[in-house]
Each structure stands twice: as structure tokens, then as C-alpha cells.
Amino acid sequence: MCGTCGCGEDNHVTYSIPGETGHHHGGGHHHHEHHDHKKSVSKEIQLEIDVLSQNNLKAERNRGYFEALNIWALNLVSSPGSGKTSLLEKTIKEMKKDLDFYIVEGDQQTSNDADRIKAAGAPVVQVNTGNGCHLDAEMVSIATKQLKPANGSVLFIENVGNLVCPSMFDLGERNRVVIISTTEGEDKPIKYPTMFQTAQVCIINKTDLLPYVDFDVEKAKEYASRVNKDLKFIEVSVKTGEGMDVWYNWLKENCK
């Protein structure tokens, strides 16, 4: 939570659309700074509760907005380097004739991922969180207003690469999709259980590397099922395209 994740009062958030000059600036997190003395502990806990309460209120407003316009919002979460952006790129290129995609890109710095998404063919707003290690509902609200997704569209929110802090923050999404890759340890679900408890789908990416890495797919599924027995698993290789049809079918079946 914010008492330990490093998000500070002086955090500076910017919003940008690839190809447009200038940045839109947002307020920093309403998060508190660390204090070493014991007397601050109860104050920190109360501030953390307040932060999450405020976020949850904004998330409900986001959810109401999405529902009113029949927008399907998905929160994509993972460790850095698991393949979120590559998954989105391929999905946009191969499914944009079937579904109308809009993207909110979350990173601490750079517009690299937003540039890739724009090149793939989808409208995108980049949110740079500065020192912040996750998106929150307010950031998504501001970015969505800039993005102006159409009625009946699919809104992908690519969160900052982190399996801890984003798990605590509801963004107003209908579904949370957690992505792990075969280059990571299969015990990630039990090391970072909250993220897997709050997700509906777990994508296991980079299956083309299985002959070369020490990763047990079935063990990863077992660990994830321990913390969330209802989690749906989809095994893919974004690089080769293997399994992507299962992901695409899930999107089409649930885009209602």
C-alpha cells in the first residue's frame, strides 16, 4: 500500500497523446511520506485507508461512466517485461476489425509504449506516473476524458509493471487480467497473491521459450488456483501467435 510503495506527495503525473505537443499535468498522489518514528504508524494507516476510500469512490464513478456507454474496461497488470504491450499490439492489429479499441498506457516515464500502441492502430493516452508505481482511478478518469472512447468500445488500461501496488487500486474496470511469463518464477501467484486473487484471467505468455527455461506451467496454475480457484488460464506466445486465438475468442465472447 502507499505507506510502503514509495509514492510521495511530490509525485508529478503527466498525460500525453502521441503526436501532440505538450503535456497535460495532473495532481500528485494524495499519498503520505514515510516517517521513522513509531507515533506515525497509526496516522499512516489512517491515511492509507483514506487514500483507498477516495480511490474506490472515484473507481465507482468510472465504472458508472463505463457502464453508461457500454465500454468494457480491462485492467492489464503484470511484472515488468512480461509482455503486456506486445500482447496489446498484436491484439489490436489482429482484432481491430472486430472490436473498437482504446488504450490507457501507464508507465513511470517515456511514451515508448504509447508510440507502439498508436503505430498498431489504436487511440492511446500515455500516463506517466513519475515516482508512482501504479495507476489510480483518478488518473484513469482524466486519461479517459482525453481519450473519449466510443460507445460499445473496449478500453484496455495497461498498468505500471508491478505485482504489488496496482493490486490494491480499483480503477473501475470490469475485468482484471494478470500476465506472467515463462521467464519468471512459477511461484509468482503465491508470492504476490493479492494480484491473482483480484484477477479473473491469468495469461501465461512466452510459451515458445518453455524448452529453454525452467518454468513449470502446471505448477504455476496450481499455485494461482490456490489463491483464486475461479481464475481462468490462457497460455500464449505473442511472438509465434500460439494460443492467441483462445485470447481473442475470450474477448469476443465477453464483449457484451
Q: What is the pLDDT of residues 50-70, one digit of tens each?
A: 778 999 999 999 999 999 999
Decide yes or no: CATH 2.40.10.170 for domain 37-254: no
Regions of the chain with pLDDT less than 70: 1-11, 21-49
Q: What pLDDT digit, counting tens, does each position of 67-106 carry?
A: 999 999 999 999 999 999 999 999 999 999 999 999 999 9
* Segment (H or E) for 233: strand 232-235
Q: Which three cell numbers stand for residue 29?
A: 498522489
**pLDDT at residue number 1:** 42
Give residue limits of the domains in the chain: 37-254
**pLDDT at residue number 10:** 56
**pLDDT at residue number 20:** 78
Q: Which three cell numbers stand for residue 131?
A: 515516482
Residue 139 near residue 39 (C-beta atoms within 8 A): no
150 φ/ψ angles, rounded to the nearest 5 degrees: -75, 160
| This prediction's pTM | 0.86
C-alpha span between 116 and 165 (Å, rounded): 25
**pLDDT at residue number 59:** 98
C-alpha span between 94 and 99 (Å, rounded): 10
Strands annotated E in 129-231: 154-158, 175-181, 201-205
**pLDDT at residue number 61:** 98
